[in-house]
């Protein structure tokens, strides 16, 4: 038997993403796609943008699983001392308690789709940072160079 209630999906485009640097000296920024505030569930989904030479600080999560899907660029992923090269099309799954970091080793920006479940205060940490804007290069990578133009339906 099918459920009788219909859940209306939430649709967002890059112009709707709120983007932050967690600290002013960070060399990566996170554009929130969905989080506990917008998805009404315990997950955080964002596009993480690493400047050339940029990296996350080493970090770990008590309960959360974190997944990275590389959209563009190349990097090194480290988890508990193990290092692996990553590039566009690669996926990385970090288990709870794994101390990890991602570092951009390419000549251009590194873009990852980053998902953490459960949220474990990740969205709140991101939102506590400094708001920044997505630029033209970011919008092109996210596939929506036209996102500032009105849509004809």
Q: Tens of pLDDT along 5-55? A: 666 677 788 888 999 999 998 999 999 999 988 777 899 999 999 999 999
Scanning the chain, the segments in alpha helix (DSSP H) are: 36-39, 122-127, 136-141
Question: What is the domain partition of the chain in residue ranges?
Answer: 16-141
Q: What is the mean pLDDT of the chain?
A: 89
Dihedral of the alpha carbons of 142, 127, 61, 51, in degrees to the nearest 10: 40
Q: Which residues of 58-90 are buried (b: 16+ CB within 10 A; e: fewer)?
A: eeebeebebebbbbbbbbebbbeeeeeebeeee
Task: Please indicate, yes or no, whether the overall pTM of this predicted structure exceeds 0.95.
Answer: no
Say which CATH class 16-141 falls into: mainly beta
């Amino acid at each position: 038997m099918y459920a009788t209630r219909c859940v209306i999906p939430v649709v967002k485009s890059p112009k709707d993403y709120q983007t932050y640097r967690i600290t002013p000296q960070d060399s990566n920024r996170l554009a929130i796609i969905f989080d506990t505030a917008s998805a009404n569930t315990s997950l955080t989904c964002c596009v993480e943008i690493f400047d050339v030479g940029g990296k996350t600080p080493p970090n770990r999560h008590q309960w959360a699983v974190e997944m990275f899907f590389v959209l563009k660029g190349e990097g090194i992923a480290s988890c508990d001392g193990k290092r692996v090269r990553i590039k566009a099309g690669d996926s990385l799954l970090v288990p709870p308690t794994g101390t990890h970091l991602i570092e951009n080793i390419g000549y251009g920006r590194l873009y990852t789709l980053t998902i953490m479940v459960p949220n474990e205060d990740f969205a709140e940490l991101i939102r506590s940072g400094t708001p920044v804007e997505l630029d033209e290069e970011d919008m092109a990578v996210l596939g929506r160079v036209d996102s500032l133009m009105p849509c004809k339906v």
